[in-house]
Amino acid sequence: MSYDGDRMQNSLSWMSWSWRAGSVAGIEFRISWTLFLSMVFSAISVIRSGRPDLIPWALVIPPAMVLMHTIGHLLMLRWVGGRTDQTLLWALGDMTPMHLALTPLKQFAVAAAGPAVSLILGAGFDWMLYHLTDSWHFSAHNLTGVPDTTVKSRMADWITFVLSYSSVQCSALFIWNLFPSMIFDGGRLWRAVLWPFTGVTLAVWITIGAGFVCSGLLLLTGFAAMSFTMVIFAVMMLYACISERRSMKQSAYDLVLQAEPRLLGRNRPNGILARWSAARKERQRAHEEVQEQQEQEVLDRLLAKVSEQGLPSLTTAERQALARISRQQKARTEAHSPF
């Protein structure tokens, strides 16, 4: 996830507790407490599986995969002309304060870069796992790296674990960061996808609404599956969605784009759906004008006939046409009346 501005930092201050890890190319890297917690859970998992020898790998893989995910964001940010001086690595991605043009394409490119890197790496680990063993009998997503009968040495066992667990971590980073919340890349990603179609303001509200729905479903799924991790992340996502909605309602300020969407809309064309709706209304108005003109011509002709020959001169069809046109004109007059 990427962010900038004091408002968002204040909204997620509890996630910003971190330690400085160093600087590379002018960018300061910090590690969130949530990433340390993820590493602890990984170590506990391998201990419970009876493989304490895998603890070093369990501690290294989560931050390594998060770091690769983050590098994807940073490289794309530089490539599209953006900049940053700090990034925070957390359990499911990064928080990077960035200066980036508020256009759908650039916002999408930076937001999608991290999940794309995770997807490619995950597929690569799966491919290596498949081709470095004699069969696909053991799952590429088995946390313990089940030692197949063809994998006899401890080194082969470690390779199996590293590849399979790295694939698991990459898959998790990819899937979680598709969710529409400001703590994930999906918060920015779905805004950018919807922006050209709906306009920026509606894109923000749709994404926030989708975030509430997804967080609710995740919360229910977590309770049903007795998954403590899923429940925690669902609650975090729900809290983030509440913060996003509150900011939009109170000050019309979007915490993800770090701007007021209504102001962005003034300098950019409306979304595709908005333009389609406007064009549809214009066609409907033109059709109504043509219809009114035709009705008026018929009405003028009938009234002229009545004036010259009297009302009895009208045929039954003409009387019905006169009554119908009179009703329609009366209905239109009432519809446009301010009272």
Closest residue by Cα to residue 223 from 234, 214, 212: 234
- Whether 207 maps to a domain, the answer reads yes
| DSSP summary character for residue 269 | P
Tell whether 331 and 291 lie within a shared domain.
yes
Residues 246 and 112 in one domain: no
Residues 6+ apart with CB under 8 A from 254: 191, 204, 244, 247, 248, 260, 261
Please check whether residue 82 lies inside any domain of the structure.
Answer: yes
Same domain as 149, residue 221: no
The two three-digit tokens of residue 134, written as one number: 């004699």
Query: What's the confidence (pLDDT) of residue 270?
Result: 55
Q: Are residues 197 and 245 in the same domain?
A: yes
Q: How far apart are CA 168 and CA 145, in angstroms?
A: 11
Per-residue pLDDT at 278: 64
Q: For residue 244, what are the domain limits?
A: 193-269
- Whether 301 and 325 map to the same domain: the answer is yes
In a domain, 185, yes or no: no
d(CA 39, CA 59): 5
123 with 260, same domain: the answer is no
Q: Are residues 255 and 286 in the same domain?
A: no
Q: Are residues 10 and 81 in the same domain?
A: yes
Give the per-residue pLDDT at 15: 59
Specify if 184 maps to a domain: no
Q: Which residue has tokens 């953006």? A: 82
Residue 118 pLDDT greater than 60, yes or no? yes
**Each residue of 272-312: pLDDT tens digit?**
556 666 667 777 777 777 777 777 777 777 777 777 777 77
Residues 19 and 134 occupy one common structural domain: yes
Q: Are 109 and 207 found together in one domain?
A: no
Q: Which of 245, 269, 293 is the last residue of a domain?
A: 269
Task: Choose the final residue of a domain: 143, 177, 211.
Answer: 177
Over the stretch 5-24, which tens digit does the pLDDT of each residue have?
Answer: 445 445 455 556 788 888 88
Do residues 43 and 173 share a domain?
yes
Claim to verify: residue 159 and residue 112 sit in the same structural domain: yes
Is beta strand 86-90 parallel, antiparallel or unpaired with respect to 93-97? antiparallel
Give 329's Cβ-side CA count (13 Å radius). Answer: 13
Stronger pLDDT, 242 or 132, i.e. the higher one: 242
- Domains identified in the chain, total number: 3
- Boundary-marking domain end, from 252, 269, 286: 269
